[in-house]
Structures are given as C-alpha cells and as structure tokens.
Structure 1
Amino acid sequence: MVRRGRGHSDAQGADYSLHTEIGDLRAWIDHLEQPVHLVGWSHGEGRSHSKMPPRTRVGSVVTYDPVLPPFAKGAVSMLEEADLNERVVVINRDISGLEPEIVEAMKDQSEWSHLRKLAIPLAAELAALNNFTPSKKWESVAAALIVGERSHAVEPYGPVFDRVSERIPQASVTVLPGQGHLAHVEDPTLLGTAIGTILTKGVST
C-alpha cells in the first residue's frame, strides 16, 4: 500500500494525521474483503498496530524497527526547510546518528535517489507521529517485531524499539544481523526472508 504523500497516492492534506492513514488502511483492508497480515516499517508501524481486529480482519502484524512518540521532534522544522538532499542528510546524520563521512559517502550510492523520494513527506509524517497516542488495544495485538542489529539498544531507534516491545509484551523479537534501519534498501532479501519465516511460523497473541 502506498501511503499518502508518496508515489501516486493522494496528497497528505491540511488535516493530515496518523489517524488519516489509519483510516486509509482500514478502507484498503475492507476493500480486499479477505484476511490479511500487515507488515510495517518505522513510522508505518503505527498504522499497523492501530487497526481494529473485528472490522479489518487483520490476522497479525509484523513490524521492522518500529517507532513511537516522542521521536526526533526537533528535526521537524529542519526537514520542512531543507531540500531533498539535505533532508536525507538530516534523517541519517541528525536523527539516525550516522557519522557525517558515512552520510557523505552515501550520496555516491545508487540508493541515494530512493532515499530522496522517501524523504519528501517525512516532515509531516514525523509531526503526525509525535501527535499520536497509542491505545491500550496495542497490548492485545498479535504482533512480531523485527529490529536491525545496528539499531538494537542504540540511539535513536533502540530505545524507541524497547518502548514498543514493552507496550506489546507478548510480541516475538527477531534481530537482523548486520543491519540498521534500512535493511529494505541494503538487504531486502534478508528482510524479506525474515518476514516470510515469521509468517510461515505464525504470529502468536
């Protein structure tokens, strides 16, 4: 599913919030008229966990490097004022904490153009995330959590991941060896295999 503000989807709109995307997700699942398993990454996991099981027929949720508020509030204004190249720099240097020389080297890699596209709607998405309050229903969600080895227990994603894990204590945890927050770009086969293994085994409540 293409989120609002990305690809060929509709614009986010003036009243955009995480609840807007939750409504989009529910409508999409209702349109499918069959049981589904949701897979989310980073900010997208908020939509996945906030579904209503009886209505949306969601069997389980798998999330990779999920985040919860508060998260990088101070970066919203920087992202709003930056061009796309600088947005990718802010995301990786100021939010993810990568060394400046590593971020500079990333500009010569083929993934850079993809990261530019991902950065287009990020300021509004980050603001929406920080205005979101998870419900108590999260505690009963059938979920499996995936975290990159380089993200685990390391700022900024490690502590946030721990908060998600504490909120869904029954969720299993899979650590992706050698990966950080961008396994879907750097090693999509590894990430896809991990997700497939989790779904094959089944996600317990």
Structure 2
Amino acid sequence: MEQTIQKRLPVDGGSWVTVDVYGEPDAPGLVVVPGAMSDAHGWRHVAAAVDAWPSVTVVNRRGRTPSGPLTSTYSLQTEVEDLGVVLNEFKGTRALFGWSYGGLIALLAANDRPLHHVIAYEPVTRPFGSHALPDLQAAEETADWDATIEIVNRQIAGLDTAHVEALRADRQGWAALRHLSRPAHAELAALNAAPPSDELARRADRVDLIIGQCNDGAAPYGTSFDDVRKRVPRAEVHVLPGQGHMAHIQAPTELGHLINDLATVR
C-alpha cells in the first residue's frame, strides 16, 4: 500500500499533529500510533505491508516534525485526547494499533470511546524507566541529544555499548534519532506521572496484544507487557517469532503480515 496524502490536524494548546495516510483516504481502516523515539516515517514499511484494510493512517504524534510542539501542559492524557482528534477525523476506524508508549495510548483511548478492535505491540505502563528520568532531564536541559540516545538505549532498553556504537556509526540514522530523542524526557515523565488504570481497553470489542519472542518474560519490555496484560484480561496474546521491541524496523514485513492476520474476525 502506498502513501496517498498527509493531513495536519489542530489539537489542544495550539499544537497540531500530522497523519500519513496509505491507501484510500476516505475508506475506514487501521490507525497506527507509534511510541517514543519513533515517528510516522519510521512506520512506513509496516504500513506498506498492511493490506487487510483499505487504508492505514499513521499518526505523527506531537513533539516530532512535522507535527507541533508538546506544549507546557503535556501529559499522557494529552496524547489520548490527540488520538481522539484523529479518530474523530477518520470516523468509522475499524482497528487501532499502538506500539510501546503508543500501545498504552491506544488502550487508554479504548477506555474513553467504543472501538471495534485494538492491537498493541509491547505496550508499556508505569513504573517504566523511571530510574533514568534524572539523567534524561539533565541531558534535555543541556540539549545533549547524543546523551539522550545513549540513556534510552543503555539505561532503559538495556542494550550494550556495541549496539549503541553500531547505531552511532550510521550517521544518517543517528541524526534522525537525535531529533526523535527530544521529547523523550517529557514522554517518560508523563508515562510515570499518570495514575495506572485498573482496566485498559474496557470499551473495545476485541483486544490483541503482541510481544516479540526475544522479550517474552524479560525486563524491561516483557515485564511491563505482563503488567499491561493483567489489566486487559480478555485480550488474546500473540508472539512475533525472533523479534524484540524494534520489530517495525528489523522485521516490518513480518509485523505487517501479523497485523493482517489479526484482521480476521474471530
């Protein structure tokens, strides 16, 4: 499926979000919500692999170009309300998919409004990465985005030095990560400041949760996934073989095909 249009939608606080639409712009389909250190562009290959719906709309959340700023009142609820604006624009959305922080946003959105189908890949919930907040705040105050990337990958994701240096060796990719890292502290702080919900996706007709095989039962993503799973007891759980948290980059076609498979009505 090819990208057909990009739309800009005004949201609260004078900010805005853009969405990239693949396929038929006026046909109800799948809405995708990326998480932290990611943007709509990073999900283009997954969107291209999805064909179970006539359209795929990928949200470029506030805080990343070409969407607007987070604003001073930013919170997790801000994200849920922004997603509500997108869903109001694309009425009749058949399914909502979220990854990581975006997965939590999607599940919370299904507490506020009825949704037919919600899919979340390794959604995270508090407490998650709170130990890294002081270092992320210090990096943000000095605009040290190189340090922010290292903190996210080393202190939160638990990756080793060799992995970070491999990322740094890709100059174009590292430059993109520098831009994507700017909202990292605010997003992690918002995630950990929000009171946990006892139940998630309570107004969804159907919920599917996905975990990468490499993270099943392992900290930090697998253990946070287990916390979320307890709050969605009726969800079906699916494992993506051979993958971890970054499946949208490392195996976008496989992830897209799994999402296609989940479109089948049970």
* 3-state SS, counterpart of residue 189 of structure 1: helix
In 1, are the aligned partners of 2:154 and 2:161 still within 8 Å (CA)?
yes
Deviations 1:51-81 (A, max 9, x none): 257x755211111111000111121221233
Question: Quick one: distance in 2 between partners of 1:25 and 1:99?
Answer: 34
Aligned-residue offset at 1:86: 1.9
String of CA shifts for 1:7-58, please: whole Å, max 9, x gaps.
Answer: 21121111100101111111211122223311111111222111257x7552
| Counterpart position of 2:229 | 165
Q: Secondary structure at the match of 1:107?
A: helix
The residue type equivalent to 2:256 in the other structure is G
For residues 51 and 11 of structure 1, do their structure 2 counterparts lie closer, same or farther at Cα, with a shift above 3 Å needed?
same
For residue 31 of structure 1, what is the aligned residue in structure 2?
Answer: 89
Q: How does 1:16-165 map to 2 (within 5 A)?
A: 16-52=74-110, 56-82=113-139, 83-109=144-170, 111-138=173-200, 140=202, 141=204, 142-165=206-229
**Whole-Å separation in 2 of the counterparts to 1:195 and 1:118:** 25
Q: CA offset at residue 2 of structure 1?
A: 1.1
Alpha-carbon distance in structure 1 between the residues aligned to 2:250 and 2:191: 25
The answer as to whether partners of 2:100 and 2:123 remain within 8 angstroms in 1 is yes
| Distance across 2 between alignment mates of 1:14 and 1:159 | 31
Q: Which has the higher strand share?
A: 2
Structure 1's unaligned 5+ residue stretches are none
Q: Which residue identity lines up with residue 15 of structure 1 in the other structure?
A: T
Q: Cα RMSD over matched residues?
A: 2.0
Q: Distance in 2 between matches of 1:52 and 1:98?
A: 32
Q: Percent identity?
A: 38
Are the aligned partners of 1:50 and 1:134 in contact in 2 as well (CA < 8 Å)?
Answer: no
Tell me the TM-score normalized by structure 2: 0.70
Cα distance change of structure 1 residues 117 and 193 upon mapping to structure 2, 3 Å threshold = farther
Structure 2: how far apart are the matches of 1:179 and 1:105?
18
Moved more, 100-109 or 64-73: 100-109
Q: Is 1:181 aligned to 2:221, yes or no?
A: no
Query: In the comparison of the two structures, how many residue pairs are matched?
Result: 201
* Code of the aligned partner of 1:174: H
Structure 1: which 4+ aligned runs deviate by more than 4 Å?
none
C-alpha displacement of 1:194: 1.2
